[in-house]
Structure 1
Amino acid sequence: HMSTKVTLGLKNMFGMLTTKFKGKYHIRGMDKVIHDINKTLPPQLTIIDGFVAMEGKGPVHGKPVKMNTVIASVDPVAADSVASQVMGFNPNEIDHIKWSHESGVGNMTEIEIIGEKIDSVKRNFQRI
């Protein structure tokens, strides 16, 4: 996503907003809004469908990338941290992930990975 660097589990909680005029929240800073939503209503399970991902200028002009990967966790920050690393991003450079870790929504440092290791599925996504 052009406003947040990545669209993963934490960002998908933006869909919980009931207003049709979500554009007004972009003005307030998407990373802050994403953090605040997850702090207020933390998800119980995060599943990131990475069978086909998108890189570049998403969500409209991005390029599909076949990844064949699924990431799931009861910790949304851990899920997004792992997914962002799989995409070649440093989660500390993605504000809503970093802030959610710092405020206790979840943890991005103490993560148990079951299955494939990050390096075995990692692909450096195009940055915008």
Structure 2
Amino acid sequence: MGKAWLGLGANIGRPRAQMLEALRRLDAHPDIHITRKSGIIETDPWGKTDQDPFLNMAIEVETALGPIDLLDACLMIEEAMGRKRTEKWGPRLIDIDVVAFGQMKLITDRLTVPHPHAHERSFVLDPLEEIAPSVAKWIKAQAVKG
């Protein structure tokens, strides 16, 4: 089993309920087990700022999946919950990002870990620092190294 850290966010519909449902679905997956959860914070939108604030949180999971399979599981949960990808950085019913996967560095056309913008986003780093300060510090260090 490997460890990974995911970021969750939502700002339309019933964001808190949707995040809790995403947690339930993630933990129900046979190859994903949530081991730590941050609190839920409210943050201003990033990138596209003319929308409602977001609720965000981070979780730590143990998983038997590799990084791409974990991404696919997250995307399947988003889709099953009704997420439509129509606008970059736009409103989200639910968003589940793979922020880090162990201390793996991976760049593919589908996934980059650590998440390439995590170090710039307090809505990712603040909840991550709550549950895994060493991971947040590692992500910041990777950004400095380029």
**TM over 0.5, shorter chain:** no
Indicate the structure with greater strand content.
2
User: TM-score with structure 1 length normalisation?
Assistant: 0.33
